[in-house]
């Protein structure tokens, strides 16, 4: 393998390590984001539960007003009952009293049910508040640990970025530009090793897309330092991803 292909293989190796390290850094950040999302879920649930309590209390207050109204009506009808002049009037007023009492009993049951619901929801709120407090404490510890990990990863990242600059400088301009374009397309997997087909031992294939590679390209890679690409996927073809010859500076 000549100096150009060797320098590209070295650049590929650094590029791979760089992207792995960047992913490690992103994973640490995602752990924090997932924890923040979990807390947000609890906070949203707490806000929704508090809104439910607010609406339930409004309904409770409305029924309390209706209950007092029925009690006032019963009191008035009882006074009227004492002043009834005929049996017909007496019976009519008594019917109204019994109707209002039945309404009053239903309202009392509804009010008790609402009070029970409020108690249940308030208990749920306290549990959510406790969960939020615990998860916030956990988040702070995770941030502390993440900060330490990020420092280590960032040091590795800085070193790899420097190595990438140095490796990139060893690649001729035209080939470097091609590498950068392919790196964006294939998430850094620019080079593909020419491999022997499992189905047809005489056939060589691209290690990136597994399509056939013409024999003349294989022969050229064996004898020359040309940058040749796969006709199908466009990756740079090499015979070995671990060059024995170090690129010249």
Q: Which residue has the higher pLDDT, 47 or 196?
A: 47
Identify the pLDDT of residue 196: 85
Specify if 153 maps to a domain. yes
What's the rounded Cα separation, in Å, for the pair 120 and 103? 26
**Residue range(s) defining the domain that contains residue 54:** 11-169
pLDDT band, very low/low/confident/very high, at 205 (cuts 50, 70, 90): very high
DSSP secondary structure letter of residue 239: S
Q: Tell me, yes or no, whether 1 lies in a domain.
A: no
Residues 73-125: pLDDT tens digits? 999 999 999 888 999 999 999 999 999 999 999 999 999 999 999 999 999 99
Mean pLDDT across the chain, nearest whole number? 93
Q: What is the pLDDT of residue 242?
A: 80
Let me know whether 183 and 219 are in one domain: yes
The answer to whether residue 5 sits within a structural domain is no
The residue-averaged pLDDT of 127-142 equals 97
Domain boundary among 169, 198, 228: 169
Q: In what order do the strands lie in the sheet with 204-206?
A: 212-213, 204-206, 191-196, 236-238
pLDDT in tens, 7-45: 999 999 999 999 999 999 999 999 999 999 999 999 999
What is the domain count for the chain? Answer: 2
25 contacts 157 by C-beta, under 8 angstroms: yes
Q: Which of 169, 195, 227 is the last residue of a domain?
A: 169
Whether residues 217 and 183 share a domain: the answer is yes
Task: Tell me if 171 sits within 8 A of 7, measured CB to CB.
Answer: yes
* Per-residue pLDDT at 200: 66
pLDDT of residue 244: 52
200 in the same domain as 78: no
Q: Is the pLDDT of residue 201 over 80?
A: no
249, part of any domain = no
> What is the distance between the alpha carbons of residues 10 and 170, in angstroms, rounded to a whole number?
10
DSSP string computed for 165-224: HHHHHTS-HHHHHHHHHHHHHTTT--EEEEEE-SS-TT-EEETTT--EE-HHHHHHHHH-
Kindly state whether residue 65 falls inside one of the protein's structural domains.
yes
Same domain for 123 and 222?
no
In a domain, 148, yes or no: yes
CATH number, domain of 105, equals 1.10.287.1490
Calculate mean pLDDT across residues 188-208.
86
One domain for residues 153 and 187 = no
For 197, residues 6+ apart whose C-beta sits below 8 A from its C-beta are: 203, 204, 205, 212
CB 72 within 8 A of CB 100: no
Whether 30 and 71 map to the same domain: the answer is yes
Structure tokens at 192: 């593909």
pLDDT of residue 247: 44
Q: What pLDDT is attached to residue 48?
A: 98
The verdict on 70 and 177 lying in the same domain is no
Average pLDDT over residues 150-165: 96
Lowest mean pLDDT among 36-45, 53-62, 98-107, 199-208: 199-208
């Amino acid at each position: 393998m000549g100096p150009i292909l060797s320098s590209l293989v070295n650049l590929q190796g650094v590029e791979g390590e760089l992207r792995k390290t960047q992913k490690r850094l992103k994973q640490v950040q995602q752990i924090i984001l997932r924890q923040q999302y979990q807390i947000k879920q609890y906070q949203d649930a707490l806000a929704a539960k508090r809104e439910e309590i607010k609406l339930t209390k409004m309904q409770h207050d409305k029924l309390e007003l209706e209950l007092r109204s029925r009690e006032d009506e019963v009191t008035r009808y009882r006074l009227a009952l004492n002043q009834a002049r005929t049996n017909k009037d007496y019976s009519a007023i008594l019917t109204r009293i019994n109707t209002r009492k039945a309404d009053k009993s239903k309202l009392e049951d509804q009010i008790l049910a609402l009070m029970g619901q409020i108690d249940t929801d308030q208990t749920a709120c306290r549990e959510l508040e406790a969960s939020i407090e615990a998860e916030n404490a956990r988040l702070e510890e995770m941030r502390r640990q993440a900060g330490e990990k990020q420092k280590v990863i960032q040091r590795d990242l800085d070193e790899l970025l420097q190595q990438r600059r140095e490796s990139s400088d060893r690649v001729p301009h035209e080939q470097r530009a091609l590498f950068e374009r392919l790196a964006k397309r294939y998430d850094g997997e620019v080079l593909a090793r020419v491999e022997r087909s499992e189905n047809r031992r005489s056939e060589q294939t691209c290690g990136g897309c597994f399509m056939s590679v013409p024999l003349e390209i294989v022969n050229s890679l064996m004898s020359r330092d040309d940058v040749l690409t796969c006709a199908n996927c466009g990756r740079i073809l090499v015979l070995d991803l671990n060059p024995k010859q170090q690129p010249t500076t």
